[in-house]
Structure 1
C-alpha cells in the first residue's frame, strides 16, 4: 500500500508489541476491497514519555481508505493521537490523487503544524512537498512508502517487505521439509508484480525457500483485489492438479483466494497469507482452513508514527534507548502468526 519501496504490504511482527511499547515508553498502493473497520491501535505500557508535555499539533495525510489495510492506517493514527491530552490531531482528506495529496500537505504546512505524518501515495511524487515541510522546520515522519530524498523526512517507519517473504518462505520450507516433501509444488500469488514492494517480498520468499532446496513452481499477481484473487487462484488451481503450498502476499486479496479454493473443493495443500488481517487470523484460529499462517505487516505502524511525531515535536527521545533523539529509521519485523499464537495477535488484526 509511492514510491512503492515500502508498504504493508497489514502487525509489526516481532515488533508488533515491541515497537508500540518502545515508542510509548519513549507498524502498497493497493487498490482493492471496500473500506472496512479495523482494530484500534494497541495502547502499550505507560512510560515517562506518556506524561503530558508541550502541546503539539500533528498533521496527518494518507491515501483514501479503499483497502482494508489503508483504512486501518487512518484508524490507528487517530486512535493513537486520541490517547494524548497534549496532541491536537489534524488529518486532511484522504485521497488517491497525487495533486490533491500535495495540496493537502501544503495546507498543513501553511497551518504550521508541529509535525507531519505522511503516508504518500507515491514517495517520488510527494518528495518535493515533504522537503518543503522539512525546510519550513516541520519534522516529517515518513510512514511506510519512503521518500527518496532523506532530507525530506526526519524519521521513516515502515514494514519489512523482504522480511515478509523470508518469514513465509521459512514457514513453508520448514513444514515441507519436515514432512519429507520432494520437489514440492509451491505457488505464489503476488499483489502487483511490477511494484518494488512485491519484488522485495518475492525475493525474500525465494531466498528463504532456497535454504531448504525448494523453489517457486508458479507465480502470478492478483492486483491486491478480492476479485482478482478469486480469478488468479482459480486459474492456478486448474493449472496444477496437485499443490503442496501457497503463499498469498495479501490478506485482503486472500478473501478471494480462499473463496476460489473452497469453490474448487481443494485441501491437499496449506496456505500462508500476508499482512495480518482479522479475517485471516480467524481462519487460522478455526483450525479447519487451508490457511495455516499469515506473516505480518501491520497498520499499527501508523500508531507508532503518531507517537514518534509527538516525541520529535516535544524534543524527546525514546526512553528505552540511550540516545537523546528518536532514530532516523525504524524497520518493523515480520512475524509469523499461527494457530499457536493467533490469540495474541487477533486484537491487532484489521478487517478486510
Structure 2
C-alpha cells in the first residue's frame, strides 16, 4: 500500500519536474570564538527545512511542516538530529585531512560539503550527488556509478587517492545516496504533499528605474518555484533585447522573479505588440501583462514605486534575500547543477572568513 501511495503521489506531480533534497555542511576554522565552526542547513524543494550550528544545542526546524514533522514523528526527527550533530566529528577529521594534503595546516580554512538526491519524473530516475569544496573552490566529487572520487584541482589528488582506497567511506556514501536519501525524499514528499504543493499565483508588475532603463516584468508571491516568465512580441516568445533574472525567495516561503526588456530599439507605437507572460507549474492559465506605459511603475514619478508601499511581497524582498544569503553564503562553493550541467557560481567564502555573493559582501568575521 505504501508503494502504491508513493506511485500515485509521484504521478500526481507529473508536471512538476525534479524533486530534490540536499544538505549543506561547513567546517570553518576562523579563529574567532563568536563564529560557529560547524554549520548544517537542509533544503527540500527549495524550502529550508532545518538549520544547526555549534552555538545551538539542537537541530532547529525552519519551516512549519518541519516543525509538524518533529511532533508527528519524533523518532525520525531524533535520528536525523543526532546524525547531523554527531557527523561533526567525522567532518572535522576530513577538514584536518584536507589541510594536511594541501600542506596548509595553519591559518583560516573552510571545508564545504553539498550532497543530496533528486527524482526526475520524466525519466523516473533517482540520483544522488556529493561534492566537497575547500577554501571557496571545488575540491572533490563522488561518482556514484564508479564509486570513485574526482579531484577538481591538483591539491585534491592526494585526498582522492586516499579516499578511492577507503572501502568503508565508499560503502557509507553509496548506501546513503542510493538508499537513505531517496527514502527521506519520498517520506518528506508524502508528508508535505498536502502542505506545500498548492500553487499560489503571483502579483505581476511592470517596473522601470529611469526613462532609459529596461522595463522589468516582476512577479512575486508565487509557489512553487517551478515557473517561467518571458516577453512576447505578436504572440511569439522574444529572445533579443531580453535579460532573464533568476528565481529568488521571499520571506514567506514564496518566490519572485523578473525578466527585463530593453526598449531602446522599440518604437513607442509598437509597444502594444509586446506582453509579458508568466507560467506556473500546476496552473493551466497564464498570467499575461501587456506593455502599456500608464501601468509601468517608476522611480522618477511621484506616484511611482519609490513613493508607494507596493504589494505585500515586494517590500520584504531585500530583507528576505539577505537572510537567506547569510545562510547559504557560508556554504560558499561552486555547485553542480544537475539538470542542465551548468555550474551555479553563487557564493564564496575565502580563507579570511569573508563570505561574498555576486551582489557583494554579506558576511565578514571580526579581526583583531
TM-score bracket, normalised by the shorter chain, equals under 0.3
Instruction: Tell me: higher relative CO, structure 1 or 2? Use CA pairs within 8 A at least 6 residues apart.
Output: 1
Between Structure 1 and Structure 2, which shows a larger proportion of strand residues? Answer: 2
Greater CA radius of gyration, 1 or 2? 2
Between Structure 1 and Structure 2, which shows a larger proportion of helix residues? Answer: 1
Q: TM-score, normalised by structure 1?
A: 0.25
